[in-house]
Amino acid sequence: MTVDPAPPAARNDPIDRTQLVTHVGAVAGLVGVLLAATTTIWPTLVLSLRMPEVGDFTRGSERRFWAWGRDVVSYTSHGLVLDDDLGPHPLPRLVLLVAVLLLAAVSLVGLLLRPGRRSELLGATCTALALGAVAASAVWRLSFDDRTAMLQPGVRAVTTAAGWCETVAAVLFVVALALLLGPQLFPRASGAAGSWVAESWRRVRELDDAPGSQVGFTDDLTHDTDDRTDHRTDDRTDDRGAERR
């Protein structure tokens, strides 16, 4: 009794297109959380001021801004570091930022482990909260006027690596929200995107499973060459026998 081989479609693992799109969005959100976490440690904006007119080129000051409201002024001439306490205390904002990022990370990991409608809504909600916290700081930094911070010429504003990570994190949160909410709001567009990704993945797997891509194809070529040589030798022998007759 012979068993017919399964068709190629049955051998491939089924891919849920909507679930694939939401998983990509969850991964984008997790990368955004990792990038936004750098702003809790390092400043996002630095204002440096040098005063060479005094006669000492080493004199000046440096003002550093954190995403959660900390403002530190350091004087390079004698190493004095002062926290700016004119505004509200920044520690509650730091706690809020950390809590929002943790909620986003936990909800997105839960979406990857246990996909479903409830996990998608929870992940989208926590991602929106993280986007609001990160985007508020990024917009403040990008719209900051350095002339109002130090009313002296020679002020130089520098966006740190943490600041650029904050900007990229905000963009990734927007992408994650679009991918998480897209299957619910725009099912046709998300279905088309999922179909394209699934088709690309299927083609890659077919190329990997193709016989020519496996190791040992040189042996097949050698066998083909030997068969052709044998056929040519047989033809020549037949021709010689016909001439003798």
Tens-place pLDDT, residues 165-176: 999 999 999 999
46 backbone dihedrals φ, ψ, rounded to 5°: -130, 130
Residue 52: predicted pLDDT:
55
Q: What six digits make up the tokens of 53? A: 């007119």
Residue 101: predicted pLDDT:
96
Q: What kind and span of H or E run contains 144?
A: none
Cα–Cα distances (Å) from 220 to 211, 213, 215, 226, 233, in that order, read 10, 12, 10, 10, 20
User: What residue ranges do the domains of the chain occupy?
Assistant: 16-185, 193-234
Class of domain 16-185: mainly alpha
Q: Assign residue 179 a region: left if phi > 0, alpha if psi is -120 to 50, beta otherwise? A: alpha
User: In the block, which residue shows the tokens 């985007």?
Assistant: 135
Cα–Cα distances (Å) from 120 to 4, 18, 32, 92, 173, in that order, read 41, 11, 17, 29, 14
Residue 243: predicted pLDDT:
52
Sign of CA dihedral 16, 17, 23, 24: positive
For residue 33, give every residue at least 6 positions away whose Cβ sits within 8 Å of its Cβ, in sequence order, or none. Answer: 101, 104, 105, 108, 130, 169
Q: Mean pLDDT of residues grouped by 10 in the chain (245 residues)?
A: 45 60 92 96 85 55 86 70 67 94 96 90 94 93 70 74 95 94 69 64 70 49 52 55 53
Residue 3: predicted pLDDT:
46
